[in-house]
Every structure is written in structure tokens, then in C-alpha cells.
């Protein structure tokens, strides 16, 4: 580790340390502080000159001297620092000099104009500079993120101009006949400056401690959590960064209310099954762990795009060529899972994300394998006997009738229902209640896409999706690999890479704004997940567990 890195680590860094991020935070805060210092210096200087001029104790020559000292040194230098800090990044050592320099420039400028004042201007202008010093040092402690050690150093340096003014005032008071003023006034100024420095250091200590606690609450294993980007019934997903790799990562963690045996088994199953899949259209799992406090989490690749539900809701149904392009990728991901003896069981638009990866647009990623099961497993103990597994609008009839009715053909049904939604903008069957939707899956025949969406839907594609939506599982393709071959056999013109790139260029900003708005909306509708709350919940549950129930 370099000397400069060690320097900023020891003196600054009120966030989990990273040179680039700590520098950026410090630079922004110092720039803000410099702007406030410059504006405050102008105000104090002009008010002092105006007051002295009104009472008639100052001439225009003195105004020029004091104005040059007050505005030139106390305001101009911090103003220049404000411009320089905003212009580009600076090294940690340079930022430290900026920090101390801003404080010294302001207080030295104010002290200089006080020293230049006539004795009659202010009887005790050392108190004025002491007040300005106190306000400036406390403001710095609040605004600038630094360790208490750095705050103490800067504050003691900032107290020196006040002590210098106290020496001048003490000498004048002594000359005016106040015995002992030459000693007592500087001592008072030094004591006042020391007290102000200690108070600023204490404030910095408190704020630094709070920042450290916030940083610790956002740390999960080797990951630093940023903002919540999604929440489901079982887990919450956070945008995070690995402490060393600094790679954007999505971290999913188990919610406190979901920390039962069945949910934990499902959570672990999701990680284990997904981690074994390596298809490029399946979300990649990086890590899985449990913190010392008992919080379960796993880390996966962060995908900055839009799920198919949001994409269709926002932009309307897809071009048939694009829909087939997406379905082929989904089938590829499922084909690997089916080949490994796994079924997804919860395929729906919200669980497929469309994004840009490695400079390639319209890359589909299949998410959320939380309900995945092995075809040769009984799935007892983690699923209630009469519970409904999956999302009603995309459930195959046999899956509605029995939780054990799932097989690869049930996933094929879900892919067809998803394709129907992509092409028409509506679900295959809709109803006012879950029961009504499920009943229609069991009894009603789907409306052909050529009727629902229009005659621009290729007949071969329409017929294939209707075949996949058959009530009889035996009439459907046996798995995703067979469905993929049938999609390729439809002879639909390919969705080109240029078309995909152009589409994303046109809609990328709109989707990003929509995603941000959705996250803000979710914060209003739901209680934000907090890692500390999860830890507390886990601890509380452990303390309530009776012997023999663990």
C-alpha cells in the first residue's frame, strides 16, 4: 500500500475505504465547504466594513486595505479552491492541503482585516474572529468527512489566526491601561481556540461513528450494499459491490419474515441449482454465504436492463421477429436445466430480463430459480401439500391440479404463455380472481394470436404457441430443446443485431428513468429492507427458540 493511500486511510475515509470513492466523496464535500466559506467570508467582511463606515470609524483608504485582506484572502482563495476542486480529481495528499488551506485562508484573511482595523473600530475584535473561527470549524466537522485525527489537526491550525489576533488586541488593551491584558488576552484566545478545536473534533467523532455504523449496516460479507433494487415474497435484492473487485453485483438476501425452514431450503436450493447452470442466458451466481449474524445471501451478476413485464407494459408488444429472438434464448437456458433434470416452475415475464451484455443488445437472462425442482425429487417438506406453485397466468393445467404435476412440458406451457404475452401485450387468460384465471387454464381454449394481436403474427408461430398451450401435456413439445428446434423451423426472418442496438439507443434512457421511478415507488409502498433489521430479527428468533425446536 502506498504512503499516500495510507495517509488518506488514516486521516479521512468515513466510508468503507476505497481510494477512488473516498477521494470523490472528499473532493465533493471540500468543494461544497469551500463555496460556503467563500460566501460567508464575503458576508462577514462586507458587514464589518458597513458597520464601521456607518458609525464613522473608518476611512476609504482603510476600507480598501481591509476589503483586499478580507475578500481577497478570506473569500477569493476559497472561491478559487471551489473552482479547482470541481474541475478534476485530486490526490489524497492534495485534498488534505486543500482542507487545511481553506480553513487557514478564511481565518487568516479575517484576522488580517481585524488587525488592520483602528483601535476604535471594534473594542474586542478578537472575540469576533473567535466566533467566526468556531462557526467555520464546526461547519467543517459536519460537512467534510474525516477522521477525528484530521479534524483536530485542521482545527488547531485554524485556531492560530485567532491567537494572533488576541496577541494584537492584548497589546492594544495593555497600552490603553488594562494591566495584564497582553498576557491574559492571548491565553484566553488560545484556550478558546483549543476548546473550539476539541468541540469540532468531538462533532467529527460522533458523525464519523454514525457514518461507520451506516457503512457497517450496508456490509454483507465481502459485499457493500448500495440500494434496494427489488423485493419479492422471500428475498430482497440489493445493488452491491465486492469490497476488492469493485464489480457491480446483485445481492439477494433472505427476508426476516421468510426465515423458516422451508424458505431457507428453497433459498439454498435456488442458489445450488442456479450455480450449476452455465448457459449464457441464465443469470450467473458468484457467491453464497451466511454472515456471522445468521443472514443468508447470495451474489449474482448485476443486470442493468428491463424485465419483459416492464418492457411490454412500457413499450408495447414485441415485433414477432424480436419475440422469437427472445424465446430462443429462454429456451436455450431452460434446455440446459431440463437436460440436468430440473424444471423452473415459475417462468413469467418478470423473471426474464432483457439487457445489453458485452456490447450485445437484447440478451435475455432467466432469473429466479427459487421454485426449481429436480424431476426425480418428491419435494416434500418445503412445499405445502395444497399450495399453488408458480404464477397463475403462466401455470400449466396439470400444475394447477397438483404440485407434483410439474415436468418439462409445464415449463414449455409457461414459455408459450410468455410468448403470447410478448406478442399481444396480454396474458393468455385473464380473470378477476386467481381462481377464475386457473379455471380458464383448465377449461377454456386460448384465443389465437392472429385474432388477439392481428394478422401480422406468422401463422406457423401462432400454431406452435397454441400447440404448446394444449391442455394435454402429451401434445406439447417434450422439453425446451424441442421447442427451440420448432421455433427455428418457423422460418421467421431473424431480428438483427443492428435493429436491437438501435432500439436500445432509442429506449435506454427511458427505461432507466422508469426503473428509477419504480424503485422510488417501491420505497413508498414497502418498508425498506435493512440488514440490521434482518440481523435483529434473526437474533430474536434464535432467542425465542425453545430447546428441542432448533
- Say if residue 438 is in the same domain as residue 321: yes
- Give the model's pLDDT for residue 55: 59
Count of structural domains within the chain = 3
**CA–CA distance, 82 with 492 (Å, rounded to integer):** 60
The number of C-alpha atoms within 13 Å of 381 and in the hemisphere containing its C-beta is 6
CB 287 within 8 A of CB 447: no
How many C-beta atoms surround the C-beta of residue 209 within 10 A?
Answer: 12
- Say if residue 459 is in the same domain as residue 334: yes
> Does residue 549 lie within any of the structural domains?
no
User: For the domain that residue 225 is a member of, what is the CATH number?
Assistant: 3.30.200.20
Task: Say what the pTM is.
Answer: 0.61
- Say if residue 122 is in the same domain as residue 148: yes
- Say if residue 243 is in the same domain as residue 122: no
> Does residue 550 lie within any of the structural domains?
no
> Does residue 391 lie within any of the structural domains?
yes
Strand 235-242 with 223-231, pairing: antiparallel
Q: What is the 3-state secondary structure (H, E, C) of 218-248?
A: CEECCEEEEEEEEECCCEEEEEEEECCCCCE
- Say if residue 410 is in the same domain as residue 316: yes
> Does residue 408 lie within any of the structural domains?
yes
DSSP helix/strand/coil, 342: strand
CB 494 within 8 A of CB 328: no
The number of C-alpha atoms within 13 Å of 529 and in the hemisphere containing its C-beta is 29
DSSP helix/strand/coil, 42: helix
**CA–CA distance, 421 with 394 (Å, rounded to integer):** 10
> Does residue 63 lie within any of the structural domains?
yes
- Say if residue 241 is in the same domain as residue 138: no
Local structure of residue 233 (DSSP, 8 states): S
Residue 328 is part of which domain span?
A: 306-508
- Give the model's pLDDT for residue 209: 76
Through-space distance between the first and last CA atoms of the chain, rounded to whole angstroms: 46
> In the chain, what's the furthest Cα-to-Cα distance?
111
- Tell me which of 217, 248, 267 is where a domain ends: 217
Instruction: Using alpha carbons only, give the angle 525, 427, 324 rounded to the nearest 5 degrees.
Output: 110
- Say if residue 175 is in the same domain as residue 248: no
- Say if residue 165 is in the same domain as residue 207: yes
Report the DSSP beta bridge partners of residue 289: 297
CB 442 within 8 A of CB 450: no
Strand 248-254 with 235-242, pairing: antiparallel
Report the DSSP beta bridge partners of residue 360: 357
- Say if residue 500 is in the same domain as residue 359: yes
**CA–CA distance, 7 with 398 (Å, rounded to integer):** 66
> Phi/psi of residue 235, each to 5°?
-145, 165
**CA–CA distance, 479 with 297 (Å, rounded to integer):** 31
- Say if residue 500 is in the same domain as residue 535: no
- Tell me which of 189, 217, 245 is where a domain ends: 217
Q: In which element (H, E) is residue 92 found?
A: helix 92-116
- Tell me which of 196, 217, 238 is where a domain ends: 217
- Say if residue 73 is in the same domain as residue 103: yes
> Does residue 78 lie within any of the structural domains?
yes
Closest to 14 in 3D by CA, of 197, 141, 195: 141
- Say if residue 410 is in the same domain as residue 319: yes
> Does residue 413 lie within any of the structural domains?
yes
- Give the model's pLDDT for residue 130: 81
Local confidence pLDDT in tens for the 550 residues of the chain: 455 445 444 444 444 344 466 678 888 889 998 888 888 777 777 776 676 666 555 555 555 555 555 566 677 888 888 888 888 888 888 888 888 888 888 888 777 767 766 555 445 767 877 888 888 888 888 888 888 888 888 888 888 888 888 888 888 778 877 788 888 888 888 888 888 889 888 988 888 777 766 666 667 777 878 777 777 666 778 888 887 777 888 888 776 555 566 667 777 777 777 788 889 999 888 888 776 666 778 888 888 889 999 999 999 999 999 999 999 999 999 999 999 888 888 899 999 999 998 889 999 999 877 555 555 555 444 444 334 556 788 999 998 887 677 889 999 999 999 999 999 999 999 988 989 999 999 999 999 999 999 889 999 999 999 999 999 999 999 999 999 999 999 988 999 999 999 999 998 888 888 777 766 555 433 333 344 444 444 444 444 433 333 3
Catalytic residue among 121, 346, 362, 462: 346
Q: What is the dihedral of CA 132, 136, 137, 140, to 10 degrees?
A: 180
User: For the domain that residue 316 is a member of, what is the CATH number?
Assistant: 1.10.510.10
User: Buried (b) or exposed (e) across 290-299, using 16+ Cβ within 10 A?
Assistant: ebeeebbbbb
Q: For residue 462, indicate whether it is catalytic.
A: no
Amino acid at each position: 500500500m502506498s504512503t499516500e493511500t495510507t495517509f488518506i486511510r488514516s486521516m479521512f475515509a468515513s466510508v468503507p475505504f476505497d481510494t477512488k470513492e473516498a477521494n470523490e466523496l472528499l473532493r465533493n464535500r471540500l468543494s461544497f465547504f469551500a463555496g460556503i466559506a467563500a460566501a460567508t467570508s464575503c458576508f462577514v467582511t462586507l458587514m464589518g466594513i458597513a458597520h464601521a463606515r456607518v458609525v464613522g470609524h473608518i476611512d476609504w483608504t482603510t476600507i480598501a486595505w481591509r476589503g483586499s485582506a478580507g475578500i481577497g484572502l478570506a473569500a477569493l482563495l476559497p472561491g478559487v479552491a471551489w473552482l479547482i476542486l470541481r474541475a478534476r480529481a485530486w490526490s489524497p495528499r492534495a485534498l488534505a492541503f486543500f482542507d487545511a488551506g481553506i480553513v487557514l485562508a478564511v481565518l487568516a484573511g479575517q484576522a488580517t482585516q481585524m488587525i488592520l482595523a483602528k483601535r476604535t473600530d471594534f473594542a474586542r475584535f478578537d472575540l469576533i474572529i473567535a466566533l467566526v473561527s468556531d462557526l467555520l470549524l464546526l461547519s467543517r466537522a459536519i460537512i467534510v468527512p474525516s477522521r477525528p485525527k484530521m479534524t483536530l489537526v485542521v482545527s488547531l491550525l485554524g485556531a492560530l489566526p485567532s491567537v494572533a489576533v488576541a496577541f494584537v488586541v492584548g497589546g492594544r488593551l495593555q497600552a490603553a491601561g488594562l494591566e495584564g491584558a497582553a498576557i491574559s488576552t492571548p491565553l484566553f484566545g488560545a484556550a478558546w481556540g483549543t476548546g473550539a478545536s476539541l468541540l469540532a473534533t468531538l462533532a467529527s467523532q460522533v458523525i464519523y461513528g454514525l457514518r461507520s455504523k451506516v457503512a457497517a449496516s450496508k456490509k454483507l460479507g465481502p459485499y457493500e450494499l448500495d440500494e434496494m433494487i427489488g423485493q419479492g415474497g422471500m428475498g430482497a435484492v440489493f445493488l452491491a459491490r465486492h469490497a476488492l473487485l469493485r464489480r457491480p453485483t446483485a445481492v439477494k438476501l433472505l427476508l426476516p419474515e421468510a426465515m423458516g425452514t422451508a424458505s431457507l431450503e428453497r433459498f439454498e436450493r435456488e442458489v445450488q441449482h442456479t450455480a450449476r447452470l452455465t448457459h449464457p442466458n441464465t443469470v450467473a451466481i458468484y457467491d453464497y454465504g451466511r454472515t456471522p449474524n445468521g443472514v443468508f445471501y447470495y451474489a449474482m451478476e448485476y443486470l442493468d436492463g428491463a424485465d419483459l413485464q416492464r418492457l411490454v407494459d412500457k413499450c408495447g408488444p414485441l415485433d414477432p421477429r424480436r419475440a422469437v429472438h427472445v424465446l430462443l434464448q429462454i429456451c436455450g437456458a431452460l434446455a440446459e436445466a431440463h437436460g440436468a433434470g430440473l424444471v423452473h416452475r415459475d417462468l413469467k415475464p418478470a423473471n426474464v430480463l432483457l439487457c445489453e451484455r458485452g456490447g450485445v443488445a437484447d440478451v435475455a437472462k432467466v432469473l429466479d430459480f427459487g421454485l426449481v425442482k429436480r424431476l426425480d425429487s418428491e419435494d416434500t417438506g418445503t412445499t405445502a401439500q395444497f399450495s399453488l406453485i408458480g404464477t397463475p397466468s403462466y401455470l400449466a393445467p396439470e400444475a394447477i391440479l397438483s404440485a407434483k404435476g410439474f415436468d418439462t412440458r409445464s415449463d414449455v406451457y409457461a414459455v408459450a404463455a410468455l410468448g403470447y404475452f410478448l406478442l399481444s401485450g396480454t396474458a393468455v387468460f385473464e380473470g378477476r380472481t386467481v381462481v377464475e384465471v386457473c379455471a380458464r387454464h383448465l377449461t377454456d381454449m386460448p384465443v389465437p394470436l392472429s385474432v388477439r394481436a392481428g394478422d401480422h403474427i406468422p401463422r406457423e408461430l401462432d400454431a406452435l404457441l397454441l400447440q404448446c398451450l394444449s391442455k394435454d401435456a402429451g401434445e406439447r413439445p417434450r422439453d425446451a430443446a424441442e421447442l427451440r428446434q420448432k421455433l427455428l423451423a418457423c422460418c421467421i426472418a431473424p431480428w438483427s443485431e443492428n435493429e436491437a442496438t438501435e432500439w436500445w439507443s432509442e429506449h435506454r434512457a427511458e427505461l432507466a428513468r422508469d426503473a428509477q421511478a419504480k424503485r422510488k415507488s417501491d420505497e413508498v409502498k414497502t418498508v425498506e429492507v435493512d440488514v440490521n433489521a434482518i440481523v435483529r430479527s434473526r437474533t430474536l428468533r434464535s432467542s425465542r427458540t425453545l430447546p428441542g425446536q432448533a
